[in-house]
Amino acid sequence: MNELPGPAAFPSTRWSRILGGGPDLDALARAYWRPIHAWLRARGARAADDAGDATQDFFVWMIESGFVARADPARGRFRAFLKAALRNFAIDRERRRRAAKRGGDLAPRSLEVEDASTSALEAGAAAPDEALDAAWRAETVERAAARLEEELRAEGKETTFRVFRDYFLADDAAVDYRALAERHGLRAESVSNHLMSAKRRFRALLREAVRDTVGSASDLEDEMRWLLSGGAP
């Protein structure tokens, strides 16, 4: 097994999309709309439409406020960066709302990434952060599962994916090897082989997805532990 590259050589595609050649906000919006939307709903958006509007505003704010220009991959995971950005966005948005009520307006405020660690930004952040984490985990697992299905179907191994899906991804936690064997017309020992093969490839695909959002090998391992602790295979 090849060793992971060290932090200096570690690829960080999401960071590159932010810092290199101008932010690719369309790609970021497609990739992270769901967790960002979940954070804003938990923060207090009263309806899905309100959170949708706020999500769109967030990506514009990332540029206008100068926050995105202060992004630093050395600070760690992209998931943590998004939380910091969302907290700053929520505060700036509330300032604008209050200023509008007073009949004035405020120019976009340039905020430091460091501010995300202050108590003012942390206050009341637990629920939105948990919502983002849950949506992030679900989205990452779903993407890896979709890639696994695509690969296995291309190899003519649809049964392998169906067994994997029914055991690891279905809501029925009571399913066992015998039930899977009967459901898919397999021997019990064959179920084990299908699961081992699919699980190994799924973890590799999951790791590829996570590598895209961290800046170092140690962050990768931490993020994988966090991700898999939520029930992913």
Domain segments of the chain as ranges: 12-124, 140-228
DSSP per-residue codes, 146-190: HHHHHHHHHTT-HHHHHHHIIIIISS-TT--HHHHHHHHT--HHH
The pTM is what?
0.74
Instruction: Identify which has the larger pLDDT, 48 or 182.
Output: 182
For residue 116, pLDDT beyond 50: no
Tell me what percent of the residues of the chain surpass a pLDDT of 70: 72
Average pLDDT value over all residues in the chain: 77
* Six token digits for residue 23: 């932010």
Q: What confidence tier does 108 reach under pLDDT thresholds 50, 70, 90?
A: very low
d(CA 153, CA 184): 16
Q: What confidence tier does 120 reach under pLDDT thresholds 50, 70, 90?
A: very low
pLDDT in tens, 54-89: 888 998 888 787 777 777 766 678 888 889 889 989
Q: What is the mean pLDDT of residues 151-171?
A: 93
pLDDT in tens, 25-40: 677 777 788 999 899 9
**What is the DSSP secondary structure assignment for residue 106, as one 8-state letter?**
-
Q: What is the mean pLDDT of residues 96-114?
A: 56
Nearest to 113 by CA among 70, 149, 144: 70
Sign of CA dihedral 13, 16, 21, 27: positive
DSSP per-residue codes, 40-67: HHHHT-SSHHHHHHHHHHHHHHHHHTST
Give how far Cα 41 sits from Cα of 51, 103, 204, Å.
6, 27, 32
